[in-house]
Amino acid sequence: MLNRFKYAVMGLRWLVGKDNHFIIHFLLAGATIAAGAILMIERIEWLFIVSAIFFVLIAEALNTSIEASVDLTTGEYHPLAKAAKDAGAAAVLLSSLYAVIVALFIFIPYLL
């Protein structure tokens, strides 16, 4: 059981070392948490913020694993490899858009 946790931590280390986008999302998450703390958002609003943050980080982790798997499988251009990578990137884009929408709904009333 501890090995599974160890492998998950190794995966996070790999993500942080390999994927600059993951680091960017992580830093933006920190800024969002700081903004929520400063604005003293409500408990239910925290639930949406934290859920959106994890949604983006999970999507980025899955996208990076798709890219690594595709790169391992083929070293040359293939339309299906491109489709897999593009679909993974789309998942990150959609989750990021969701996070921005959640942040706007929550933070704009506090800022007005």
Q: Is 42 a catalytic residue?
A: no
Location of structure tokens 């931590």 = 9
Task: Read off φ and ψ for residue 48, nearest 5 degrees.
Answer: -70, -40
Residue 77 annotated as lining a ligand binding site: yes
Structure tokens belonging to residue 48: 């949406």
Q: Which residues contact 19 (CB under 8 A, 6 or more apart)?
A: 60, 64
Tell whether 18 is in a known binding site.
no
Determine if residue 42 is labeled as part of a ligand binding site.
no
User: Which are the contacts of 73, defined by CB distance < 8 A and separation ≥ 6?
Assistant: 81
Q: Does residue 60 have a known ligand-binding role?
A: yes
Catalytic residue among 22, 60, 63, 66: 60
Q: Binding-site residues for substrate, please?
A: 60
Q: Binding-site residues, please?
A: 7, 60, 67, 76-78, 85-86
Q: Binding-site residues for a divalent metal cation, please?
A: 67
Q: Binding-site residues for ATP, please?
A: 7, 67, 76-78, 85-86
Q: List residues with catalytic annotation.
A: 60
